[in-house]
Amino acid sequence: MTFADQLSRYSPADWATAVDILAPEIHPVDLDATRVWLAFFPLELHLALAGKSGADLAATERTLGLMGTWRLADQVDTSHTFLYGHRYWPQTKRAILAMAAEASFPAGLPEILTRIADHVSRTCAADRDQMLGIVIAGLMTFRQAGPDRFRSSAGTVQLPLSVQASSIRQVRRRRRLQQRQGLRGLVGGRKRFRMTFNENLPDATFQVIAGQDIASGAQSDKRDYRSTDQRCIPGEGPIPVECRAASCGTCWIGVLAGADRLSPIDPADEGKRLKVFGYPHPHTSTGAPIIRLACQARPDGDVTFVIPPWNGIIGKII
């Protein structure tokens, strides 16, 4: 049995159980980020579309309303750049390929993940808890992309050197730090908050006025995003939007920090629609949901989030 065959035996439920088992061992800098990443790339979607090609695949994509880049095979090195552990991606990729070349493998998925993380930890001379998140993402990428596509990627870190040099303490401090208000921070007597949508770019922020939802606040950012993401509407900011009424699911986001600073999910509206779209809804350790619709989430503080590279309506297969 090959390593790919072994991984194919694990169901989405097996992966969820493995992550739950390992969650206490994942460093807090990447715990929510790992759950966000897994929500962005559900194994159920991959399984539903596996084996389809040509007109059959195109018809299924239309049925599911898929837009953007959902295949992990097309983003082996780039899908997980928002994980702190991404800076250990070259070593992680090599460790996964090394295990794939072995004659036998641990029987359980948690044991496989732990063994790979131990290998990367020794290679990088860093604690294992920093490696578990990227190892989970890397192994799921191997599972969905397949050995050949996984092996053929460059396997390089996709971060500016200045970002790579940031310590865990610096990253967590930036996420906790709140923008000072003062008189200049007020708009019409109301506070405004900083939304960070890509921690790896110094100017990837925009302001949201108190009482405003994130998607509406993004309209203040008039930079060109359509050239890099065809789902974006010119003049609407970095978050893809269509309806602004929780009906399309285009504007879903994954919250890395500040989930508890967002308005609660309305179960009859946003909560119901998230289920229809099929977007998983993991929570922080305190119970705050980290997958939200930007058109419904209203912040009362600074928030750091990441925008998924695709959207669709896949509730029937999740």
Q: 51 Cβ partners below 8 Å, 6+ apart?
A: none
Q: For residue 82, which of 8, 126, 31 has the smallest C-alpha distance?
A: 31
pLDDT, position 316: 84
Q: Are residues 143 and 195 in the same domain?
A: no
Residue 184 has pLDDT above 60, yes or no: no
pLDDT, position 285: 86
Residue 188's pLDDT band, with cuts at 50, 70 and 90, is low
Q: Is the dihedral of CA 73, 74, 78, 82 positive or negative?
A: negative
pLDDT, position 318: 75
Q: Are residues 25 and 140 in the same domain?
A: yes
Helix (H, G, I), strand (E, B) or coil at 28: helix
Q: Are residues 71 and 181 in the same domain?
A: no
Residue 96 has pLDDT above 60, yes or no: yes
pLDDT, position 186: 58
What does the chain come to in residues?
318
Measured distance CA(289)–CA(297) in Å, rounded? 11
Residue 181 has pLDDT above 90, yes or no: no
Measured distance CA(291)–CA(142) in Å, rounded? 24
Residue 244 has pLDDT above 90, yes or no: no
pLDDT, position 182: 58
Among 137, 169, 201, which residue terminates a domain?
169
Q: Are residues 137 and 11 in the same domain?
A: yes
pLDDT, position 190: 84
Residue 317's pLDDT band, with cuts at 50, 70 and 90, is confident
Q: What is the CA radius of gyration of the chain?
A: 20
Mean pLDDT of all residues in 113-142: 97
Q: Which domain holds residue 280?
A: 177-311
According to DSSP, the residues that pair with 262 across neighbouring strands are 299
Residue 276 has pLDDT above 90, yes or no: yes
Domain membership of residue 236 (yes or no) is yes
Mean pLDDT of all residues in 188-217: 94
Model confidence over 129-162: pLDDT tens digits? 999 999 999 999 999 999 999 999 999 999 999 9
Name the burial class of residue 252, with classes exposed (0-12), middle (13-18) and buried (19+) by CB atoms within 10 angstroms of its CB.
buried
Q: Are residues 97 and 227 in the same domain?
A: no
Measured distance CA(179)–CA(194) in Å, rounded? 7
Q: Are residues 126 and 228 in the same domain?
A: no
Residue 295 has pLDDT above 80, yes or no: yes
The dihedrals phi and psi of 253, each to the nearest 5 degrees, come to -140, 160
Q: How many domains does the chain have?
A: 2
Q: Are residues 226 and 290 in the same domain?
A: yes
Among 136, 169, 202, which residue terminates a domain?
169
Q: Are residues 149 and 190 in the same domain?
A: no
Mean pLDDT of all residues in 253-262: 97
Mean pLDDT of all residues in 190-207: 95
Residue 91 has pLDDT above 90, yes or no: yes
- The CATH number given to whatever domain includes residue 301 is 3.10.20.30
Mean pLDDT of all residues in 68-96: 98
Q: Are residues 32 and 159 in the same domain?
A: yes
Q: Are residues 28 and 156 in the same domain?
A: yes
